[in-house]
Structures are given as C-alpha cells and as structure tokens.
Structure 1
Amino acid sequence: MNKDQSKSFEVNTDHFSTALSMSTEEEEDGRGDNFMTLYSSEESFLAISSSDQLSTLQLTNTNENDPRLTTKGIITQINHCSSIRELSLSYSFLNDELLKALSGNDTLHLEILRVEAFPEAKSTAKISNETWCTFTNRFPGINLILLTYMTEEEDYEDLLSVHVPFTHLYFSECVPSSAVARVGTSCPRLVELVVSAYGPDTIDEVLIGAAHGCPKLSAVGLGDCEIT
C-alpha cells in the first residue's frame, strides 16, 4: 500500500450490511506497516499481511450470536490470498465445508492452521473423520494448533473426538480436567502439549496416556499441575 495514501478506508454502510474499515496504523506487537487489519462493525475481524507476498490470514470471532463472516465469505477471502502460509481462525468458523474447500484448493500451500476456541463462540458443526483425513493428506506437514478456553465438558466431545490431527495443543486454566484426559486417545499427531492448570488429582496418568497415545510428543509445558 502506498504510504502517501490515507491510512484508513471506510465502506459505505448504505450498500453493505457489514461495514469494514482498513487500517495500516502501527500495531503494538511491532508489525508496523507490514500488517493490514480489516475490522467489521461488530466483533468479527480479518487481518492479513500487507507484504509483497501475503503470508498470514486471520479470521476471528468472539460473538456467538453475530458471527458475521460466513463459510462462503471465508473461502472467497482465501481464494484471493492463495500465497498465504498461515491461517488463523476462530473455532466457530471451522466446519466440513471450509476444510474441504481448503483441501481442494490446489494453489494453497498452508504450513500453519491456528484455531482458537472460545466459550462465547462455539462451533455448531461436528467435523467428520473423513474430512480431517482429507485435510491432513492434502497438507501432510501442516502444524495444526489449538488454543482452547472453553469450560464445559460437553464442548470437547466434538472438539477432541477420535483422532483429531492437532499437532500443538494449549489448554487454558479454565479447561476441565476431563478434556485434558482425552489427549492420549484423540491426538495421535500431537507434538506439543501445554496445560495451564489441572486438578484436583495429579496429572500423572494424563501424561502417561499422552506418552502412549501421542508417539510424536516431544514438548510438554505444565502450569498449575501436580505431579508425583
């Protein structure tokens, strides 16, 4: 983007139901003008790198009642950013249709898929094992990262179902212990496990189960967890 141009662009809200604004103002994380952010009028926003080769696409939603971005809209954005290597999105956007579209895009070379799961914006669709298999066959070396903040046990019945191909898993302090216990049977491709808190029992059995069920596991980070 030409730095001589205005740093902000507003979309006419009379013609679009969701207003977007674009900004290249310097971010606190140091990205500066190499990071472009498009904000919707509500909680959803999209952010992409504005370098010569777009490498990162971020789609976030923390409002379950007003997700704004549809699967079709997300696919359209991705099709216009075929050079991206990292896709970051809310778990509420993740479904069979999106993963199949990613798998069927021959020009896409994803290296990282980062998923954030919030209790305020849950997914309403269960992803089939067939879809996950197709996705991992299409991107065999992808780093599939899950950061979860969901607090209810039932939330993990779909999120950590049989053989979910996450490679990096980060549990926040509010995650129920039963969800952490699913790791050994649900994440055979896991490389890194971080558990912020676990209790009231020791986490020994969970770690032993993860060691047996996740043969690629090479890094474990523990917060408020008791071990013997």
Structure 2
Amino acid sequence: MLFAVSSLNSGGSAAPGCDWARLPQELLLHIFQYLPLLDRAYASQVCRGWNQAFHMPELWRCFEFELNQPASSYLKATHPDLIKQIIKRHSNHLQYVSFKVDSSTESAEAACDILSQLVNCSLKTLGLISTARPSFMEVPKSHFISALTVVFVNSKSLSSLKIDDTPVDDPSLKVLVANNSDTLKLLKMSSCPHVSPAGILCVADQCHGLRELALNYHLLSDELLLALSSEKHVHLEHLRIDVVSENPGQHFHTIKKSSWDAMVRHSPKFNLVMYFFLYEEEFGPFFNDEIPVTHLYFGRSVSKEVLGRVGLHCPRLVELVVCANGLRPLDEELIRIAKHCTQLSAIGLGECEVSCSAFVEFVKMCGRRLSQLSIMEEVLIPDHKYSLDEIHWEVSKHLGRVWFPDMMPTW
C-alpha cells in the first residue's frame, strides 16, 4: 500500500482498471489497522477518501501517548500537533489508552494535562507508565488527582487500570469505585504511598469483578484477603505483592494463615506472585506458616534459613528465582524444595553456591516438569561425583533435553 501511495504522490500511474481512491472504506479500515501511525498519516494525504478513513473512529480506540523531552531522551514522542488533533476530533473515540513518559517531570505533567481534557471519553483501559524513574511522583499531587478524577468520573466502564508509582490516594479510589465498580477487573498500583490499607479495602469491598490485583505489601491485610474471598467476589486469578524495604530494619506485619486459607478455598487456581527486596534481618515475619505463593522472586540476598522455610511452607510454588545467597551451599535447601514443592517447574539461581551432586539430585527429584532451569555456571561447585564438564550430561538425562548452565558474558 505504501508503494501505491508513493506512486500516486510522485505521479506514477496505477495499474489499469485500479482506482485506489475508490477503495471501500471497510477495506481501507482493514489496511490502515496494520499500518504504523506515521504511515497512516502519510496515506491520509493521498486523497479525500483516504483522509476520511484516517479519521474513522475504529482507528482511534486504542492509542499510546509517548511523551518524552527531546533534550533528555532518545525515545520517540507523539507529535504535539497530533495530540491536539486527537483531543479535538477523537477524544470521544478513545477506549484503550496508555501514557508512556520518560524521567522528566514535564512529560508527566503533559500526560496529566491530556488526561484533564478527556472529558468526552469513556475509557475501558488506562495505563500510566514511567519508562525510567517514577516521574508521576514528581507532579503536584493535586494536579495528578484532578486529572485522574476526570477519567474516573467520565469512564463508566473502566476495566483495567495500571497506575504504579503514582500519587493516587484514597479519595480518588473512592471516585473510581463509585463510577466503575461493576466493570473493574484489573488494578495495578504498586508503589503508591498515598493509598492506605483502608483505601484498597474499599476497592475490594465494592469491585466484586476484580480478577487481577498488584500492590505493595504494606497495603495487604487479613481484611483485604477476606474481602477478596467473599461469596460476592469472583475468583481471583492473579495477586502480585511487592515486599520492599525502604529503610534497613523496617518492620513488616504478619498475615494470618487462616486468611490465606480462605483465599485458596475461594480461588483455588489463583497465582500469588511475590517480589522480595528485603535485607536478611527483615525476613522474620515471612514463611513461618504455609503460604500459597506460586511465583517467588528474591531481588536481594536471602539466607539459607529463609530458603529452608520456603521449602517447608510453599507447597504451591511454581517458579523460584534467587538472585543472591552468599557463600554457604544451598544443597539441603534445594533438596527440601524439590521434595515439598511438587509443582515447581522453573528455577533461577544467581550468586549462590550448590554442589554438583546436590544439583543433580534436585533435578532428578523434579524431573521433566522443570521446563525452565537457569543456573549460572559459577553457582555449581564440582565435587567427588561430578565436574563441570560432566554435569550437563547428567542433568540433560533427567530433563529429557539438552541443558547447559548459563555463562557470564565476557565482554
């Protein structure tokens, strides 16, 4: 199609009997849907019919605003003239919208300015994405809340909301619930310091169709889990919890086992994803009782003792990633995990140590259900049974496929 556009603009002749300007609107719409925005804009200059097709509402239901400062970012940005045109002619057509901003406060404020003008649209999905540092947190809170409230009030069928790293607060969540409680299915709001446990509990109490939820651990409570487990609530599919330490020695509360049990009874197939970024001395409240975590990621060093508790109290574990452990071999801990975590199918080990014999035994116990096995070569310690040259053959035999440990790039 772009070849045809080029030919028409340069005075080239079209194929005999083919009038590109008379293509049916339905066909143009189908073609335009596969074109990048810039190519669609070029095509719209060919003739009046193609320009009309460029403005068809179906082409503007899904849009990503990319807001970057040229002086500080190499990423492409949505042209200001196009933004004005969208607000003027297509704001009431927008349904699936995201804002991708760079690290500058100016870009985040520009996103808020656009949101404030979307008074005639009813969004179904909204995503606010910071590509570097959380620039939305640098915007004056009142400006951000005012812009977000415009969307919450005018969108009566919002089903997906991703507002991680933003200054959203409890009152604005009440506005969200008041206007979209029947339709909201996905809410991601990790690192939102102005939201309280009571604020997120209000959402769970009213939005009975919520299926996916992501938040920080300080917002998690027994009351929240019980609300998500009520008879009125649909089965939860995905719960992500970020456990992040802001200061060394931070205290973390404990969630009762009975609350987790209620969650499992209500939603037996839900995924519980937990990301831990804690210092070793802060793990005291965790993994002392059974917890239904399915995907577990340790972003900082974690002790042998904690991993031992994981092996005893995480029977639903499917995926485990340990970025660092220290210099004490994890032989016993890995064997315990293989024995008790019978659904484990993926594991990744970074700065840890495991003897080759224990690792082979771990793989042997897990067998071919280990679909992902990412182990750095430096993790494996040769012993009297296996050398590094021999271990990949033994592991490959138990996995039923060729396997090699990962190697650190040398560049």
> 1:89–1:115: 8 Å Cα contact kept in structure 2?
yes
Change (3 A) 1:90 1:37: closer
Higher normalized strand content (fraction of residues): 1
Offset of residue 198 of structure 1: 1.7
Q: Deviation of residue 152 (structure 1)?
A: 3.0
Sort the Cα spacing of 1:207 and 1:118 in 2 relative to 1 into closer, same or farther, 3 A. Answer: same
Partner of 2:239: 113
Question: Is the contact between residue 149 and residue 175 of structure 1 (CA under 8 Å) also seen in structure 2?
Answer: no
Partner of 2:297: 170
1:211 to partner: Cα distance = 1.0
Greater relative contact order (CA < 8 Å, ≥ 6 in sequence): 1
Counterpart residue type for residue 159 of structure 1: F
Query: Which amino acid is 1:160 matched to?
Result: F
1:182 maps to which residue?
309
Structure 2: stretches of 5+ with no match in the other structure = 1-60, 62-86, 93-112, 118-140, 150-159, 356-411
Q: Does 1:4 align with 2:91?
A: yes
Out of 207, 211, 215, the residue aligned to residue 334 of structure 2 is 207
Q: Which amino acid aligns with 2:273?
A: I
Alignment-derived partner of residue 225 in structure 2: 99
Higher helix share: 2
Change beyond 3 A, Cα 1:88–1:127: same
Distance in 1 of aligned mates of 2:276 and 2:284: 13
Unpaired segments ≥5 residues, structure 1: 11-17, 24-33
User: Are the aligned partners of 2:280 and 2:301 in contact in 1 as well (CA < 8 Å)?
Assistant: no
Give distance in 1, aligned partners of 2:279 and 2:235.
Answer: 33
Superposed CA offset, 1:14-63 (max 9, x none): xxxx742429xxxxxxxxxx865383279xx98x9x9xx6442112237x
For residue 224 of structure 2, give the secondary structure of its aligned residue in structure 1: helix
CA–CA distance in 2 between the matches of 1:81 and 1:95? Answer: 17
Q: Which amino acid aligns with 1:4?
A: S
SS at 1:172 equivalent: strand
TM-score (norm 2): 0.43
Are 1:193 and 2:288 counterparts? Answer: no
Distance 1:227 1:125, change over 3 A: closer
Does the C-alpha gap of structure 1 residues 98 and 123 become closer, same or farther in structure 2, counting only changes over 3 Å? Answer: farther
Counterpart of 1:148 in structure 2 is 276
Name the structure 1 match of 2:163.
37
Q: CA deviation at 1:78?
A: 3.3
1:58 aligns with 2:165: no
Alignment CA distance shift 1:36-1:4 (3 Å): farther
**Farther off after superposition, 179-188 or 117-126:** 117-126
Cα RMSD over matched residues? Answer: 3.3
Q: In 2, Cα distance between the equivalents of 1:22 and 1:174?
A: 38
Task: Tell me the secondary structure at the aligned position of residue 92 of structure 1.
Answer: helix
- Structure-1 residue corresponding to 2:148: 22
Q: Is the 8 A contact 1:60 1:89 kept in 2?
A: yes
Q: Which has the larger radius of gyration?
A: 2
Give the Cα separation in 2 of the matches to 1:35 and 1:41: 12
Q: 1:119: how far off?
A: 0.6
Secondary structure at the residue paired with 1:222? strand
Task: Name 2:260's counterpart in structure 1.
Answer: 132
- 1:86: which partner in 2? 212
Q: 1:57 & 1:222 partners in 2: Cα distance?
A: 30
Paired-residue identity, %: 34
Size of the aligned set, in residue pairs, is 202
> What is the CA distance between 1:80 and its match in structure 2?
4.9
- Of 173, 176, 200, the match for 1:74: 200
User: Any idea what SS the aligned residue of 1:107 has?
Assistant: coil
Preserved CA contact (<8 Å) 2:324 2:350: yes
Report the alpha carbon displacement of residue 197 of structure 1 after superposing the two structures with TM: 1.3
Compute the TM-score of the two structures, normalised by the length of structure 1. 0.74
Identify the range of structure 1 (53-62 vs 179-188) with the bigger mean alpha-carbon deviation: 53-62
In structure 2, what residue type is equivalent to 1:83?
A: G
Would the alpha carbon gap of residues 162 and 194 (structure 1) be closer, same or farther in structure 2, given more than 3 Å must change? same
Q: Is contact 1:181–1:206 with CA below 8 Å preserved after alignment?
A: yes
Corresponding letter in the other structure for 1:7: I
Preserved CA contact (<8 Å) 1:165 1:188: yes
Give the 3 Å change call, closer, same or farther, for CA 37–131 of structure 1 in structure 2. Answer: closer
Alpha-carbon separation, structure 2, partners of 1:163 and 1:87: 21
* Cα shift at 1:123: 6.6
